[in-house]
Amino acid sequence: MSEPLIFELSAPGRRGYNLPDIDVPRQPIDTLIPKEHQRSTAPSLPEASEPTVVRHYTRLSQLNHSIDTGFYPLGSCTMKYNPKIHETVAGLPGFRSIHPLQPDSTVQGALGLMFELQELLAAITGMDAVSLQPAAGAHGEFTGLLMIKAYHAAQGRLPGTVIAPDAAHGTNPASATAAGYHLVTVPSNQRGRVDIHHLRRLVNEDTAALMLTNPNTLGLFEDEIVEMAQIVHEAGGQVYYDGANLNAILGVVRPGDMGFDVVHLNLHKTFTTPHGGGGPGSGPVGVKQPLARFLPVPNVVRDGQMYRLDYQRPETIGKVRSFYGNFGMLVRAYTYIRTLGREGLTQVGRDAVLNANYLRARLNDRFDEPYPGPTMHEFVLSGRRQAARGVHTRDMAKRLMDYGFHPPTVYFPLIVEEAMMIEPTETESIDTLDAFVEAMREIAREAEEEPEIVLSAPHVTPVGRVDEARAARQPDLAWRAASTGFPKAEEPAAPDTPEGV
């Protein structure tokens, strides 16, 4: 990859922008920023023209795989195409140019959209109230668990454990621990679902909540969910829904009807807002009525014909973030829901399930299927057969990049040896699915007949095979010294020295 760093494209005196004339009264910097917090030297920022900057980052973007350029069969991630109508609506001046400190009376359109989105998400999930405040799915989990903790405290109870399946997303135990709970793991049975008999033995008066996603991370519907919810409720606990896999059941069944008390939603999964990039994300949380009084503030409410931010909730868990800086994500999700309507959302779930089972049926003769389908929106295969010949799932994932596809999720769930977790979503055409099938089948053949090709992959990507463990533990963040005089970063310590360790 020969593209230089932006620092290497820098030259003194170049600039790509001009700031507008100041339109507010000038103030000395010392009145705005205390002296001790001011810089003594100018920051070492690159100096480059606008065309240089645009071309540099455009070239870099062309080296990346993206949802606009290729297929992402990432299981449990629901990597849908992001409709471009979203960008048009989110870019409307009344949405794009507002400020979080404006008076409510001046942002009625934005508040009205947020209120309607709260109502729509409540109806979709079967919940009674929704907060749009959490900034991501894991943040939503943490917020939901804080509300569960507040609910128990209001009843004079202090249960200390949260139960999650052995196939749970990693955020479940992390969120439970962050909320101050001890995690207890319930195993899966031979059908790939929660072992309800084991669950019954685990649940007691110290159980604060059971955390589940349904369908689960194997793509299988927890068909004993009503009984599981009853077991937890009889012990005084709450049932938490991880919304990562909501795409499979849209318009068909609702978490609230299964017995769940709290749900978080991933707007970047189910409702097609953009993934990644460090944010801003969005992880709304819905609750049943007994927990509604604990929702974070502020929430959007309607008084007659006016909308406002409501801070007057005596039992609230408080703020979980500063402002609704992720408002653009809310606009995109709202646009998606209103575009599709009730029938369209139902078709989303059905098509996602159809696409997943089409892929599964065309691949399960070349790879092991530890939990035979039919499944819901995703499925898990195993590369055990290929691993016995020395070609592992990791190798096949890297080889898939040579065929122009992003690899599926690998080595998760942890309960499946050499796991490959595949989720096509509903947005991919039959042509794309067939091309993916042919690539996977060809890689399975290569693993048997030409393993050296797979073991040395990828061959045609901008960056070749990397050592993932070393890249995580010893990232090379140095840049080469450029003619601009920027300092060269220190070389990382050698791995066999104490500093390197």
How far is residue 74's CA from residue 79's CA, in Å, rounded to a whole number?
A: 7
Quote the pLDDT of residue 275: 87
The residue extents of the domains of the chain are 349-464
Looking at 126-263, list the stretches that DSSP marks H as alpha helix, in order from N- to C-terminal side: 137-154, 171-178, 196-202, 225-234, 255-258
- First-to-last alpha carbon distance for the chain, in angstroms, is 29
3-state class percentages of the chain: helix first, strand second, coil last, to nearest 5: 40, 10, 50
Quote the pLDDT of residue 484: 41
Give strand ranges (E) for 227-277.
238-242, 262-264
Rg over alpha carbons for the chain, rounded to the nearest Å, is 25
Rounded (10°) angle between helices 393-402 and 430-449:
120
Sequence-distant (6+) residues with CB within 8 A of 289 are 128, 129
Supply 343's token pair.
């029938």
Please determine, for residue 397, whether its predicted confidence score (pLDDT) is greater than 80: yes
* β-pair type (285-287, 299-303): unpaired
Q: What backbone phi and psi angles, to 5 degrees, belong to 211?
A: -105, 125
Sequence-distant (6+) residues with CB within 8 A of 483 are 11
- The predicted-structure confidence for 429-453, as pLDDT tens digits, reads as follows 999 999 999 999 999 999 999 999 9
Cα angle at 64 between 59 and 70, to 5 degrees? 120
Please determine, for residue 497, whether its predicted confidence score (pLDDT) is greater than 50: no
* β-pair type (409-410, 379-382): unpaired
* β-pair type (161-165, 182-186): parallel
How far is residue 76's CA from residue 171's CA, in Å, rounded to a whole number?
A: 12
Q: What is the mean pLDDT of residues 13-28?
A: 89
- The predicted-structure confidence for 137-182, as pLDDT tens digits, reads as follows 999 999 999 999 999 999 999 999 999 999 999 899 999 999 999 9
Quote the pLDDT of residue 376: 97
How far is residue 212's CA from residue 177's CA, in Å, rounded to a whole number?
A: 16
Q: What is the mean pLDDT of residues 37-42?
A: 92
- The predicted-structure confidence for 61-88, as pLDDT tens digits, reads as follows 998 899 999 999 999 999 999 999 999 9
Quote the pLDDT of residue 493: 43
Please determine, for residue 305, whether its predicted confidence score (pLDDT) is greater than 60: yes
Considering the four listed CATH numbers 3.90.1150.10, 3.40.718.10, 3.90.480.20, 3.90.470.10, the one that applies to the domain covering 349-464 is 3.90.1150.10
Name the average pLDDT for the chain.
92
Please determine, for residue 492, whether its predicted confidence score (pLDDT) is greater than 50: no
